[in-house]
Amino acid sequence: MKKLFILLTALTVCAFANAKDDLLIVEEGSPEFWTETGKLATVSIDWSNTVVVEWDGKGKVKNNFGTIEQYNRSKGEDFVRDWPNVQQVVEIHASSWANYVNKKKGLKIISPLSPTMFEAMKSMNEQQKKELTKDWPKQEKRGALYREYSEATYDIIYTVDSVDMGNAAAAAFAGLATPYQGGAEMVGTFEVRNRATQQVVCKMHMNHVKGRGTYAETARLQFMFSRLYDDALPTLIKSLSKKKK
């Protein structure tokens, strides 16, 4: 019982250490792009130079597992095989969840599946196109937006410098102190560029953005990006609006 109390205390301390800092820090431009109703954006996540770590709850690296490739190899063949699919699933979620949160107004993000969809449609007859697109209105209600990339005003690029994949065992305690216990956590850059000129519209530092804790690693990565739209970005915009008044 004493050991359990110590564990819960440690988990609570780690949780609040993450909660007290600004999750997004503006380095250039303005995050007002997020409020631009009628505008579209593409999204991509750059994992090419990501280092997988374990943080101690105070922002210090406790363990360094190397690159994503090295981490996946250490976990087994299944992780190596599944990583390309995991990347796509997380990227799709980063677009659909943003649209779900912004469903009434604000910027919308085109699904990363769109280029594949529209390329396939070039070789389809009208009946096949109708069959492919018949469920798009229903899917849009859940956040999936299929449009040509040429319609986008912005490119959103997430560059993940470091990521803590989270911990399934710790996530079992999620909800006792915070829903983020055991969640995946990242440090990196959230950059928005004008698609036509590639000029930077907004560049933000992602400061230990931590998602909800859950058992599956892929879901933890999805929740990590969800927090940008559920919490970090709206909080930042409200804070900047108050400073203007």
Nearest-angstrom CA–CA distance, 14 and 56: 8
| pLDDT at 181 (0 to 100) | 86
**Residues 6+ positions from 156 with CB-CB distance below 8 Å:** 41, 42, 43, 44, 109, 190, 191, 192
**Is 145 within 8 Å of 108 (Cβ atoms)?**
yes
| pLDDT at 243 (0 to 100) | 72
Cα torsion 145, 148, 153, 156: sign? positive
Nearest-angstrom CA–CA distance, 54 and 14: 12
| pLDDT at 171 (0 to 100) | 64
| pLDDT at 84 (0 to 100) | 97
pTM beyond cutoff 0.85: yes
**Is 173 within 8 Å of 181 (Cβ atoms)?**
yes
| pLDDT at 121 (0 to 100) | 96
Total domains, the chain: 1
Digit-by-digit pLDDT tens for the chain (245 residues) are: 444 333 333 443 344 344 446 999 999 999 999 999 999 999 999 999 999 999 988 889 999 999 999 999 999 999 999 999 999 999 999 999 999 998 888 999 999 999 999 999 999 999 999 999 999 999 999 999 999 999 999 999 999 999 999 987 776 665 556 788 889 999 999 999 999 999 999 999 999 999 999 989 999 999 999 999 999 999 998 888 777 66
Calculate Rg over the CA atoms of the chain: 19
Q: What is the span of the domain harbouring residue 72?
A: 2-244
